[in-house]
Structure 1
Amino acid sequence: MFIKRYVINPLLEIKKVEIDQINQLYDFLNSLKDYHQLGLIKDEMSLIQLEKYILSAKKQWTDKNAFLFVIYLDNVICGLIKISIDKTNGRIEYLLKNEDVEIIESVISFLIKVCKSTNLKWLYIVVDKSKAKLAKLLKTIGMYQLNAIELKEINILKDESDLLINNYWAKKV
């Protein structure tokens, strides 16, 4: 479904997470205040835990359930992005060192283009309602906010109470 490496522009690329990135990833994650977005818990982070996480991500890649990429800016790790697959829907989750809107815009726009050549029908991202800047950015790259009916129609929404704190932004691919 996805290949191991994509060059987005001369300075920005994403690569499939691999075990040989463990030391760089460990240093990157320890430089952050919080990184629970991708299922990692800061207080429990060790090289052993990170190795288990990477091996699990590689298994998910093989099983085609999720695809975890390391984001590089000028050959330095600046984030992670994951696409979790549920039938024909892909959920984007990401973690960046700095909430750099240019990186977010470039990577998500690129993934939308890549996903057009897959069997995915929808690509979506869950956004905390307090993140108005991100919502505005998603709108500019062609995503739109889904309502409860649309979320149920495309089988994304599991719990309506989630709509109290989050908005769902999607793009048909």
Structure 2
Amino acid sequence: MKKAGDIANQIGGDSAGQKRMATALLRAAGMVRSAIEEGLFDDKERKVLQDAIAVLERGAKVRRQAASLKSKHEQAAEARRKDIRLRMSGTFVALSSIEERIALIAAVDSDRLKHAQIHTRRDVDDYFKESLNDLEWKLAQRDGDTGEVVTEAWSKFCEARQRLQDQHALVISRVRGALSQAK
């Protein structure tokens, strides 16, 4: 049987999914145990089923251990994301103009701009928030000190900002036009 660490690293899902699987394995063991108690099986079949119960219970134990490991990984990842978000507050989060926000959206997910999904200031603000969340997640996946990761990303964004604004000038003017018509 695989070790808990291998399961935690190789099998997708979260710690809650691992706990659900452990519970399902224990339930299956209980159902087999109940079937044995009904007396439907001969000695050889009971032995096979008791061995199956032992395997199911070992599997449940390993899944509970994997759930614990996944939970620790999830907590560490969440702490890293929070730290990234905190470090982004003075840079990316502080972007306020339409031009800056559209540049960030373009840097994080340019498909939104290619498919003409942004027409109003509200669209800009909504997609900006989504882009911040996406960026936070992407930066949290990188190795290294969170401060250095955010500083490097900010530097790259600053280098590309004007180019991105020029590249998406049509979207910027469309949003500005919608703003002036709304007044």
Q: TM-score range by the shorter chain?
A: under 0.3
Say which structure, 1 or 2, has more relative contact order (CA 8 Å, 6+ apart).
Answer: 2
Instruction: Judging by fraction of residues, say which structure has more strand.
Output: 1
Instruction: Judging by fraction of residues, say which structure has more helix.
Output: 2
What's the TM-score, normalizing by structure 2? 0.23
Task: Decide which structure has the larger Cα Rg and report it.
Answer: 2
